A and B are shown apart, each in its own frame.
Chain A
């Protein structure tokens, strides 16, 4: 049975040159992909730009660690600070589907407490919305992707998942064993956006372990296969390989469209009645900063000086344990079991907020580099520990780091090959962050020991990005309102992880998509008002359940 299992038709619609469309979306990833699909379904004339390709998954992707290099945002960024972040494969996608092409696809929700950590713990900032406002969108997206996991998930707001949990791999069994020994609850088989049974034209998972190299099978959800096909069917245009370099401000503080470099490197302009930036936490602030103009000398929509600030990464230490028996951690999805037992603030620990412990499944190249940093391995030592690759298991510690103004994206002096100034990112840990990492790292190692490991080592690392264009009610301390609308410009929106004011200890993908679906409901409810009026209607939109891709809503509603 060799050959293409699944095929996505390339877009055929092309808006005529010079024609003004309703919406331009810059970036077709987690946020942009969901928003594009909904705006198209609601009948808007919309174009999704992405700097990377429209993937042909069968011809472009490989079951190979090194060969997956082109899935990531590999354009140069400068990384600085006391605790500099890694980019590229670590957290940034390029191409239709964005980061969802290479996410491991853990899809936990945020907890209700995440939306009000300032009120509850006196740290960070509260969200302008509550958990209960986002909850119906979590439920929608969990069915649209869909998410596999237990029918009863105990943490945060308890809920169940529409698709059944995945079978365990070696790493999941290690986590279950360690947690059980210590009396820690553990969720086996999800929540993860990977099909455990086939649905429509998408086959179920084959447990080949190359999730973060792009799922050739089509079992792992990415907006490329979950939302983009429906967007195209409903008349959206996608312009791949097009790098947007500037958002233009016209009369009356309204944006008029975007300048971009097309696949041949020609500079072009696309007129739009409104612009939505969805480039994630580095490219979104970079684009706004690069769109400075006389009215906004410090960057478009940046009167608050918050564009680029309050960037967050999650603590993502990898803890590795060696076992006498074989594990073979390359089998099964890296993401298949986790615990959120330590998610909430516990005053006795001496720091605010918490963390999750998750399975990961590093493939040989990643594992070699982890041994290089965790053990200082090189030479014969590296050869030796790598010969034991199949004896090792690995957990990812995922901890909440708090927002700080000085953790930020700025423009560097250097330019990319289009001549666009590149991003410089500065990142430092603060006191609460350091305490949380120390505690969480030790707890994760304790679980690995309890599982029966004979050696446990760990590597300091940071995962995921959010923030750098945060939402809030106060225009002086935030960039956008709860609907992603910039406080400064009424027809300029942001719809990606950069608007998250805090991050919890949940992988951000599902939350980004849920926020996008909510923003879509707002835009659709407002209709043409967005294009013609300066009036800001802050009425919360009713949820629209008829915008999901076909045959998703109503499937699998586990009773609690």
Chain B
């Protein structure tokens, strides 16, 4: 364990008081807003699909228990939820596991990538190898900052070890696949919609206030608070995915026009 920081507080910080924020049931600027509270205004099929997502978290069937715990630690950094209390964390690994177990994908695979199942197996091995190379211990054992260092090296296309793995797949494509899968799981959950003030399903009731960002009578107005990422994190800096970004395409993105 050479040169590691203490794990430290993983919660975001109020910049005025320097005190950690949360954990709380509902982070974000729309406190009290609940899309699920509107479910009686949704159509039956939509309600069924969304309630199933909330109430029936899939069992782990694709990953081994070891792979699942490693991925859990990775997803905790790729999409951190330390400001959420334990009862309101959005399950991410079970959704990734379900997709891979069902071998579901977005309809295409880059020529320089293995199938998604292998990409995740390789990627997990690669991340673990980097941790062992740099810190002589596993990813689960190292500090939060060190974990972020490793993940940022994938983002930068500059991993410190496991080169035989990254020679089998484009490291930044794996990174985008991983972040995409986390985003899919998190932002498909109604608690995340509440967090960001997205109104969610509106059929058959409709939206009637289309302009000036006005809230529907059942939506909430924004109530902002200041926060910054914890000192134990590197992920609050915005650095474009390095190098050949133009050639990376837009993985998994739905059509917009």
Name A residues whose Cβ lies closer than 8 Å to a Cβ of B. Answer: 1-2, 5, 58-69, 72-80, 82-92, 102, 104, 106, 167-170, 173, 206-210, 212, 216-217, 316, 318, 325-328, 330-332, 334-335, 358, 360-366, 368-370, 372-387, 389-390, 394, 396, 398, 424, 459-461, 463, 507
How many residue pairs between the two chains, A and B, have CB atoms under 8 Å in the bound complex? Answer: 301
Q: Which range holds the interface residue count of chain B?
A: 35 or more
A364 and B207 within 8 A (CB)? no
| Contact flags B231-250 to A (C-beta < 8 A → 1, else 0) | 00111111111000111111
- Is chain B's binding surface mostly helix, strand, loop or mixed? loop
A360 and B50 within 8 A (CB)? no
Query: Does residue B217 face the partner (Cβ distance < 8 Å to A)?
Result: no
Name the residue on B nearest A372 (C-beta).
B179
List 25 A-B pairs, Cβ < 8 Å. A60-B45, A67-B46, A76-B109, A77-B107, A86-B249, A87-B107, A89-B255, A104-B256, A206-B204, A206-B205, A208-B201, A208-B202, A325-B212, A334-B257, A363-B198, A364-B187, A364-B192, A366-B256, A378-B155, A380-B80, A381-B235, A386-B192, A387-B196, A389-B196, A461-B256
Name the residue on B nearest A216 (C-beta).
B203
Given A63-B203, A210-B203, A507-B257 contact (CB < 8 Å): yes
A383 and B80 within 8 A (CB)? yes
Query: Does residue B222 face the partner (Cβ distance < 8 Å to A)?
Result: yes
Give, as a whole number of angstroms, the nearest-CB distance from B209 to chain A. Answer: 8
Assembled-state Cα–Cα distance A73/B207 (Å): 30
A364 and B198 within 8 A (CB)? yes
Query: Does residue B62 face the partner (Cβ distance < 8 Å to A)?
Result: no
A460 and B250 within 8 A (CB)? yes
Contact of A375 among B53, B105, B238, B247 (CB under 8 A): B238
Contact of B210 among A83, A167, A362 (CB under 8 A): A167
Query: Does residue B148 face the partner (Cβ distance < 8 Å to A)?
Result: yes
Contact of A331 among B187, B193, B199, B252 (CB under 8 A): B199
- CB-CB < 8 A to A173: which residues of B? 211-212
Give, as a whole number of angstroms, the nearest-CB distance from B251 to chain A. Answer: 7
- CB-CB < 8 A to A58: which residues of B? 43, 45
Query: Does residue B49 face the partner (Cβ distance < 8 Å to A)?
Result: yes
- CB-CB < 8 A to B213: which residues of A? 170, 325-328, 390
Given A76-B107, A379-B78, A90-B202 contact (CB < 8 Å): no
Choose among A60, A79, A363, A368 the residue with the greatest number of B CB atoms under 10 Å from its CB.
A368
Query: Does residue B94 face the partner (Cβ distance < 8 Å to A)?
Result: no
A334 and B202 within 8 A (CB)? no
Name the residue on A nearest B209 (C-beta).
A331
Assembled-state Cα–Cα distance A325/B211 (Å): 11
Assembled-state Cα–Cα distance A89/B199 (Å): 22
Query: Does residue B138 face the partner (Cβ distance < 8 Å to A)?
Result: no
Assembled-state Cα–Cα distance A326/B221 (Å): 10
B257 and A396 within 8 A (CB)? yes
